[in-house]
Structure 1
Amino acid sequence: MRVLVIGSGAREHALALALRKDPAVTEVTVAPGNAGIAQHVDVRAVNASSGEEVVALAQELAADLVVIGPEVPLVLGVADAVRAAGIPAFGPSASAARIEGSKAFAKDVMKVAGVRTAHSEIVDHPGELDAALDRFGPTWVVKDDGLAAGKGVVVSPDRSVAREHAAELLENGHPVLLESFLDGPEVSLFCLVDGENVVALLPAQDHKRVGDGDTGPNTGGMGAYTPLPWLPEQTLTAIVEDVVKPVAAEMVARGVPFSGLLYAGLAIGQGGPAVVEFNCRFGDPETQAVLAMLDSPLAELLYATATGTLDQVAAPRWKDGSAVTVVLAAENYPGRPRSGDIISGAESTGTGTESEVLHAGTAQREDGALVSAGGRVLSVVGQGADLAEARANAYARLSGIKLPGGHFRSDIGLAAEEGRITIPAAV
């Protein structure tokens, strides 16, 4: 099987390495890829958001499967273009990708499906903002109603901070979504979905804030770990049965069946699981940890999803132990990141053993030097017999990497390791 992966981040690096290990896969190409991915597989230049360019490349490579990583190409219909050319595509149609592309659409789907989520209101005119803010609090959640790569969200007990963010979004022509605050620890659950067939992967927990102790602004994600020692199996089952399956069924009923990876972000509070958001693709940085634990052929699972045969393949198998992803970010991220700094010690082995370095925002200069070229530069993944060992392996590998001005969180997975995460006993 020849597989083309679309994207350029650490998520795509993880996908490429996992696909390369599948004995059924004879060739993996990533487009446009990055400097680290190029160490292991062929990379090709492409405009990932152009269905025409992606189809042309897939046809040139005689690809048997196209895996689309980022959300923007999916929302723009690249998977539709690939399927129209007769090539299996892992990723939802543009209509189904609205589950991420439009939070208002997602809220309506959840309402009809009877899925618990935060109360919300859309504000699309500055004159309506203050009255709407008065209906929320004492913790305000303000979101960009469109795609914002995880950084269009402000959660604050300070009304003025919430108002400033909402006003900025409105000034830039973006509708604002105000939500009630959901308490409890958050869970990221990836599910392979083929119409109404749902196969859950390992649950993970992301760390969105830039600083230790969940301080500072939101980012695209500073690290993640899997599995979750504090999440009971019955709660995981409830998420699949009461959240993901009803949403998948509702999308089929609307004539926009979901095919691909449906990512449910949830808060586990007193009332049980409640949806914070849905995404239409593998999440980053959770994917890096989840795929490190996968002990099944990845291509088989993705191809079955893409071809509507998910119910005909065996459930995924998982390794024992834990995996932790720690993100090394460029100076000033999540603001405008500094780029062009030389990175040393970031060689990627491609073996996926105790630790692995996955590239995201990297490039190679003409003189061969590896340099930073984005906000989240690297993902370092550690594996171990338990969470403590996985954390130790990740941070040990990270200690050998040098990036001027680079920063990372030192507490990824620490609260879980120390047993400080709990959910209500009834959940």
Structure 2
Amino acid sequence: MTNSSDIHHAGTARQAPIKHMLLRLRGPVLAVLDQALYALSNLMLQVLVARSVTEDAFGAFTVATSLFVILAMAHQTILVEPMFVLGPRHYSRELGRYYDILRGRWSAGAGLGAMMLCLLSAWAFRQWESTEIALCMIAYALAAPLILYFWLMRRMAFALLRIDLAVIANGIYCTIMLLSLAGFMLVGLANAYSGIALSAAASLVGALIIRMRLPWPQRGQDQPGGVFREHLQYGRWAFGSEVLSWGIANCAMLILPIWMGLATSALLRILILLFMPMLQICSVMALLLLRRSAKASPEISQSRGALRHCLIFLAAGSAYGIGVVLLAPPLIPLVFGSQYVVEPGWILLAAVSGAFTVGAQPLFTALRAAERPRDVMIAHMVAFILIISLLYGLEDAGIAGALIAQTVGWLAAMLSAIFFLARLDRHLA
């Protein structure tokens, strides 16, 4: 005869796997929510600028934003990404001091360096009589330290398993941005410069919330040694690969206007924005994979898991692309304005390119976790060389030619990463 305690224990046993699964899903769900909030506010900024200024002015803002992304990549690859890989492996006993260094003088130095480079870019564009781009770069120079600091605080919350705190700060950031943008539209002050300034102000609030509320690791007696050397050794290859990745995504936006005018950059930017939510979610999921993979020994093969995740990311990217192909044509004139004419064939090509882009990310993540960022850079270099060669060969095809070149490039990068993982497996065996 079964008593009530047996029934209770059986019910508890059945609930345990469900509870465990929910706990495992909590981190990825919060991470996606964090990235979605940040992407939403910045997407609204892009839409606002596109609707408030001329096509050429939006193209200038697009060029300036793309250049600022390069500076953000240096911050990401020399400061943030090594923190996820090297922190738990090399500085676990000195973690409190390690984080002090990163969020202190390193963060201040990164912000100051970004400011100076933005000002230098503004001067160069002014010499070339590209006044609108120069003014956008000045705005980014003033905003860069605050924006980069917020990015660092968010990623530290991820690394210290307080993604919920990053979500709260991002929600406040998003609220400030949306309400302020709506107010600026009502009083007629909406433009690229005011949007960049609002992003900086909202970043400051979000960063302070995380800094004050995040439970920092206890500080040990010893100062961690070799931080600069190890970050630079890892980051130089990671930065190279990210610059090449940026080049793969943006070189057409910088090269095509030479032949077809700044309005072409605006159209390419709209195509990028259509797939930005997918790319943002992919980046945060890859970051979670990196955090998990970094806890394993670099001597352990991760190629099988990377290939499995590659197929999952490919399937998800393809499903997202199908949705965009079906929904985007009627929505683009409603959201961005009737002056932007985006052909359905361009959207289809961008969808295929986007699927290969996200499919390659788990492969790159596995190589980074194995402390092989140089292999990632070489894979990106193969893709970049292919794209530049095809861009000049497909010059007459315009935007369609650029999208075909990007598709071939990302496929080549994905296949190159598979080759490097297979070679790493043979080395470990």
Which bracket does the TM-score occupy, shorter chain normalised?
A: under 0.3
Q: Which has the higher contact order (CA 8 A, sep 6+)?
A: 2
What TM-score do you get using the length of structure 2 for normalisation? 0.25
Task: Flag the structure with higher helix content.
Answer: 2
| TM, length-normalised to structure 1 | 0.25
Q: Decide which structure has the larger Cα Rg and report it.
A: 2
